[in-house]
Structures are given as structure tokens and as C-alpha cells.
């Protein structure tokens, strides 16, 4: 028997509990709340430790670790990207993450981050569009209607007011799934049969496809002046979505250049091609869109600070809710040096000899 003690536990949010938390808060409120945290953290960009994520590439995908710290809290996410998974009935992207106290190094929160990544990626796209899209943008084309799609549509409506959604995927079943899930949410939905049809009249285009190659989801002739593009799916070396000519005509905004140069659409460009860091736009240090005809491109790859912001949001909202379990992750010997002695608490109790 294990003797009871005054143990400290680490709150753990399972997938089941994350789903309950999202419903309890409301998905639009949560997307706006995460976007608010990201914006607040991007405005204090210089107070963070930053490095490109640590990627382990394999033939079919990538596994990545994404750490950062603001000096008070430390966070990391484990995330994969395996485009072939979907055909095997698995998620392309799965993740979990941890937040810790820098002061003593103890973990404060462990959580699933598959759902949380979809929420924070959508919040980030919408935040970028809020700063860069043409004023009054209402029509949002989403190319690639997989796991991320509905989150992107809902976030764009919540933050930007884009309530007309045009959907296209090479697999019509994916578009049908997204149409089903988004029905009844106050969006005007159109299922399209080509990327060309989807981008017709769109103010904002989100590409969110998964393929481990230099793909061309959008060709140059499909991109008219004044449009804002969120290129979400190209997030790995050798994995891009846009034709290079689109990049050459666009004002390009990125998260953390040393990471985006390796992973983003801009891996197709010279290493010194000018880009703007999105945090500088949010902090009011540099303008975003410069004219009505400007093509703005957010070359999204996903950066550790966005996950840190999402982890902080979840930790704050968990207090007082039942949506977590207590994980026994922290050793607590009576004397901190007597770790070995702590083992005795789990000593099997021998029954007395008969």
C-alpha cells in the first residue's frame, strides 16, 4: 500500500476534458481569448527565449519540440506532422504540451494539444488577418478541408467578421465533412470543385493542405490584388503550398524568421528576401497592409510562443473547473535528499506468517 502524503500534483487535461473545456467556455470565446493572449505575448516579443523548433525528420513526417520561456514560465510542445496518417485513419498532427515554473522548474500543467493546436493555429490565422486583411473582408476561401479547417473558418468569423466561407479539397468527402460541421453556425457556406472556384471573390484565402512535397495549391493567376493569404500547410523543409511567383508579388509576414526561412513558403526564396515580423506589426512598430492593392501573405509555420500563450490561457481557465485530473509526477520525499528512502512508501506489505 502507498502511504498517503501531502503530495503536490500536476493538473493534466486529457482530450476528453479539453473537449468539455471548449464547450464550457464556448469555441468562439476561446478562440478570441487565445488570440488575445497571443497578441499580448507578441507585443512583448523581446522578453522571450526564442529558437527554431527542434525537428526530427523521417521519410513520412516530422516530430518537433517547441520550447520557449518568458523568464517566469517555461513551455514546450511535442508535435508531429505526418501527411500519410490521414489515409491510415490517424491524425496528421497530434500534440501535447507542458507549462512549468521557471523559479523551481516544477511542471504546472500537462495537456493534450491536438485540439489546442487547431485552436491556436486558427486564432493565429485570424489574428494575422485582423492586422493584414483588407478592411471589411467578409469572404474566406479555405483550401484543404481536413482537421484544421472548421477551426480556421470559425476563428476568421469571430475575429474578422468573415462570414462567407468557400471550401475546396481534392477529396470531396473532406469538403462535405466541413460543410456538415459548419452548418448552423451563422456562416454562408459554398462547396467548390476547384481551387480557382474557391478563391473567386475571396478577400482572405487560407491554404491548409497536407502533402510532403513542394505543392502548388495556388498558382499566380489565381491571386488578385488586395487579397490576404494565410499559408498554413507549408510548415516543413520540402513542404510548401504556393507558387514562388505569388511570393514575389506579396508583402510577406512571418513569425520567427530563423524558423520560417527553414520551414515556410519562403524556403523557396533567397535567404535575404525581405520579410516583416508579425510581432512588429502588432506592436505598432511597422505598418501591415500598405495599400488596397497590396497582396499580404502570412507565411504561417506555427511558433512556440503561440503554444505558450495557449497553455497560459488553458491554465488560467482551468481554475475552479472539474476539467482536469491530478497527475502524480512530482517526487516528494520527506527529506529532499532522501529520494531512496521515499521508495519505502511503496514497499509491499508482507502478510504476517500464519
Q: Which residues bind ligand NAD (CB under 6 A)?
A: 81, 86, 92-93, 117, 121, 143-148, 169-171, 174, 208-211, 215, 217, 232-233, 235, 300-302
- Contact 163/186 with Cβ under 8 angstroms? yes
Residue 11 vs 94, nearer CB to ligand NAD: 94
Q: How far is the CB of 293 from ligand NAD (least distance, A)?
A: 26
Q: Cα(181)–Cα(30) distance, rounded to whole angstroms?
A: 18
- Contact 305/36 with Cβ under 8 angstroms? no
Residue 269 phi, psi (nearest 5): -105, 170
Q: How far is the CB of 302 from ligand NAD (least distance, A)?
A: 3
User: What Rg do the C-alpha atoms of the chain give, in angstroms?
Assistant: 22
Residue 172 vs 322, nearer CB to ligand NAD: 172
Residue 21 vs 310, nearer CB to ligand NAD: 310
Q: How far is the CB of 116 from ligand NAD (least distance, A)?
A: 11
- Contact 104/19 with Cβ under 8 angstroms? no
Residue 39 vs 235, nearer CB to ligand NAD: 235
Q: How far is the CB of 171 from ligand NAD (least distance, A)?
A: 4
Q: Cα(311)–Cα(34) distance, rounded to whole angstroms?
A: 9
Residue 25 vs 170, nearer CB to ligand NAD: 170
Please list, residue by residue across 225-245, b when 16 or more beta carbons sit within 10 angstroms of its beta carbon and e when fewer do. ebbbbbbbbbbbeebbbbbee
Q: What is the 3-state secondary structure (H, E, C) of 240-257?
A: EEECHHHHHHCEEEECCH
Say whether 235 is catalytic.
yes
Q: How far is the CB of 121 from ligand NAD (least distance, A)?
A: 4
Nearest residue to ligand NAD, using CB?
146
Q: Cα(35)–Cα(40) distance, rounded to whole angstroms?
A: 9
Q: Check 41, 203, 235, 307 and give the catalytic one.
A: 235
Q: How far is the CB of 216 from ligand NAD (least distance, A)?
A: 8
Q: How far is the CB of 117 from ligand NAD (least distance, A)?
A: 6
Q: Cα(79)–Cα(65) distance, rounded to whole angstroms?
A: 7
Residue 10 vs 198, nearer CB to ligand NAD: 198
Q: Cα(266)–Cα(244) distance, rounded to whole angstroms?
A: 8
Q: Cα(290)–Cα(298) distance, rounded to whole angstroms?
A: 14
Residue 137 vs 218, nearer CB to ligand NAD: 218
Here the contacts of 198-202 (C-beta below 8 Å, separation 24 or greater) are: 198/141, 198/142, 198/143, 198/166, 198/167, 198/168, 199/141, 199/143, 199/166, 199/223, 199/227, 200/166, 201/139, 201/166, 202/139, 202/140, 202/141, 202/166, 202/227
Pair type for strands 296-299 and 228-231: parallel
Residues designated catalytic = 235
Amino acid at each position: 500500500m502507498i502511504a498517503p502524503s501531502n503530495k503536490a500534483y500536476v493538473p493534466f487535461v486529457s482530450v476528453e476534458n479539453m473537449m468539455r473545456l471548449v464547450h464550457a467556455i464556448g469555441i468562439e470565446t476561446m478562440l478570441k481569448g487565445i488570440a488575445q493572449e497571443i497578441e499580448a505575448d507578441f507585443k512583448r516579443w523581446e522578453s522571450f527565449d526564442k529558437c527554431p523548433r527542434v525537428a526530427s525528420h523521417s521519410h513520412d513526417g516530422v516530430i518537433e519540440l517547441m520550447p520557449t520561456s518568458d523568464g517566469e514560465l517555461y513551455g514546450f510542445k511535442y508535435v508531429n506532422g505526418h501527411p500519410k496518417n490521414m489515409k491510415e485513419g490517424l491524425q496528421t498532427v497530434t500534440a501535447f504540451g507542458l507549462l512549468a515554473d521557471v523559479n523551481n522548474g516544477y511542471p504546472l500543467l500537462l495537456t493534450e494539444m491536438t485540439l489546442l493546436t487547431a485552436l491556436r493555429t486558427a486564432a493565429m490565422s485570424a489574428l494575422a488577418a485582423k492586422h493584414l486583411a483588407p478592411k471589411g473582408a467578409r469572404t474566406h476561401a479555405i483550401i484543404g478541408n481536413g482537421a484544421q479547417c472548421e477551426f480556421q473558418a470559425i476563428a476568421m468569423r469571430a475575429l474578422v467578421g468573415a462570414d462567407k466561407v468557400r471550401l475546396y479539397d481534392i477529396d470531396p468527402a473532406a469538403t462535405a465533412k466541413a460543410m456538415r460541421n459548419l452548418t448552423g453556425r451563422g456562416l454562408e457556406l459554398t462547396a467548390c470543385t476547384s481551387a480557382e472556384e474557391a478563391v473567386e471573390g475571396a478577400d482572405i484565402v487560407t491554404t491548409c493542405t497536407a502533402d510532403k512535397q513542394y505543392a502548388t495549391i495556388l498558382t499566380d493567376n489565381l491571386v488578385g490584388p488586395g487579397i490576404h493569404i494565410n499559408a498554413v500547410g507549408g510548415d516543413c523543409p520540402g513542404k510548401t503550398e504556393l507558387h514562388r511567383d505569388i511570393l514575389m508579388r506579396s508583402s510577406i509576414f512571418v513569425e520567427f524568421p530563423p524558423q520560417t526561412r527553414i520551414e515556410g513558403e519562403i524556403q523557396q526564396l533567397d535567404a535575404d528576401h525581405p520579410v516583416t515580423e508579425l510581432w512588429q506589426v502588432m506592436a505598432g512598430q511597422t505598418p501591415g497592409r500598405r495599400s488596397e492593392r497590396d497582396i499580404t501573405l502570412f507565411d504561417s509555420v506555427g511558433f512556440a510562443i503561440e503554444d505558450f500563450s495557449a497553455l497560459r490561457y488553458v491554465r488560467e481557465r482551468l481554475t475552479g473547473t472539474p476539467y482536469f485530473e491530478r497527475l502524480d509526477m512530482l517526487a516528494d520525499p520527506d527529506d529532499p535528499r532522501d529520494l531512496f528512502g521515499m521508495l519505502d512508501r511503496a514497499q509491499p506489505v508482507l502478510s504476517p506468517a500464519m
